[in-house]
Structure formats: C-alpha cells, structure tokens
Amino acid sequence: MTTAIIGTGGLGSVIARHLASGGETLRLSSADKQSARTLAAKIGRAAVVAVDNRDALQGADAVVLALRFGVLKGVIEEITDLLNDKLVVVPSNPVSLDADGKVVRVLPAGQSSGEVVAEWLPAGARLVMAFGMMSAPLFESSSNRSPELAVLFYATDDDRADEEVGRLIRKAGFEPVKVGGLNQSGRLEVGGDLHDRVVGPAEARTLIGAA
C-alpha cells in the first residue's frame, strides 16, 4: 500500500525508512523538496518525490504529517479537500523553541495536541496521533526489537483507524497499542508519561491502566 509522508526532516525521514523497510510504498514531500529527494535516493524504488504536498496525496492510502506544530495548520489547509476519508497520522509534539533555545509547550496545560489538530482537519479526515512518542534516535534503535517488539502507542477517536494504523506501526517494526481517544494523546507528547517509554505489550497495557 502507499503512504504519503509530508515532512522529511529528522523524524519524517526515520519513519519513511522504516515503513519502506517494511514494504510500504511512499510518496514524499518537503518544503523545498531537497530533503525529500535525498531521502528518496537513499530509500530507492519504494519512494517517489511528489511535485508538491497535494501531489503527495495522489493514490495514497494514508498520510503522515511529520511537520513542526507551527506549520501543521497551514499544510492541512493546503491539502484539506484531499483528506476526506483519509487516514491522517500526526506525530507532531506541540512544542517550539524559545529565545534561549529551550523547548516550550505551545498549548495550554491540559489541552492535548490531538484535540487541537482534530479542529484543524475537515470532518471526514480520520486522525490518529502516532509515531511522535519517541525521539527519532530512540525510534530507530527500538524498531524491530527482539525477542519482543517494542510498543508504539497511538491515540484516535476513529474506530476504523485501528486496523490501518496498526498495519503501519507493524510495518515500521513496532507493536501497536491504543492509549485511548484523542483526549489521551497528551500522554504521548514530550512531557507525557508515555513519551520515550520503550516497553513490550504487557507493560504497555499496565501503563495505560495506571493513569
């Protein structure tokens, strides 16, 4: 199947390489296309560079928006009419850097990124917050863990999304576990209790229940 990845920076490139290793076909897009071209060249035949963000969606079964929180809304507006009934996977953490280079949260306490991003999407889009719960290096080193796969948590309000996002998470070399609805996505973010946790399925279920 085919997944569009918009944003091929630090995290998008790692997600893309792991999905391609799992057999997914990719359509890549980035701001100036250079990082998308470099990544496509590394991946080989499984990845093509789209002409632009809208073109990335052509023929794609799902789209991963691996974008900084500050540019996410604008890109969603650009592609909004193409998102009806589409699985939209968002790994973005609601953070930015302050003047001193310190990571700061950009949403009020108690408001999760999933709930905010859902407001930006058209009604027919099927949002899953996933793939952003670990730093890119940790994602890389935890993928295809043996003998037991590590868990990648996700949050969604869409009942039909479980199977599709589960398929992508498995292709990337992880075991999917749902943390709950979008109102739980804060647990996956930087500062959340599940962020950067590398656990197997049994411990994952205990952790979910513990909150």
By beta-carbon proximity to ligand NAP, the closer residue of 42 and 160 is 42
Helices and strands in the chain, H and E counts:
8, 10
| Residue 70 CB coordination number (10 Å) | 12
- As a dihedral over the C-alpha atoms of residue 154, residue 156, residue 160, residue 166, rounded to 10 degrees, the angle is -10
The nearest distance, CB 147 to ligand NAP, in angstroms, is 26
Distance CA 55, CA 92 (A): 22
By beta-carbon proximity to ligand NAP, the closer residue of 10 and 163 is 10
Binding residues for ligand NAP, rule: CB under 6 A, are 6-12, 29-32, 34-35, 53, 66-69, 71, 75, 91-93, 95, 132, 135-136
Distance CA 187, CA 195 (A): 7
| Tokens of residue 77, six digits | 């507006």
3-state secondary structure of 153: strand
Distance CA 34, CA 32 (A): 6
The nearest distance, CB 71 to ligand NAP, in angstroms, is 4
By beta-carbon proximity to ligand NAP, the closer residue of 186 and 206 is 186
Question: Which residue of the chain is nearest ligand NAP when measured via CB?
Answer: 9
The nearest distance, CB 144 to ligand NAP, in angstroms, is 18
By beta-carbon proximity to ligand NAP, the closer residue of 1 and 136 is 136
Contact 178, 157 (CB under 8 A): no
Q: Which amino acid is at 179?
A: V
The nearest distance, CB 9 to ligand NAP, in angstroms, is 2
By beta-carbon proximity to ligand NAP, the closer residue of 53 and 87 is 53
Distance CA 106, CA 121 (A): 19
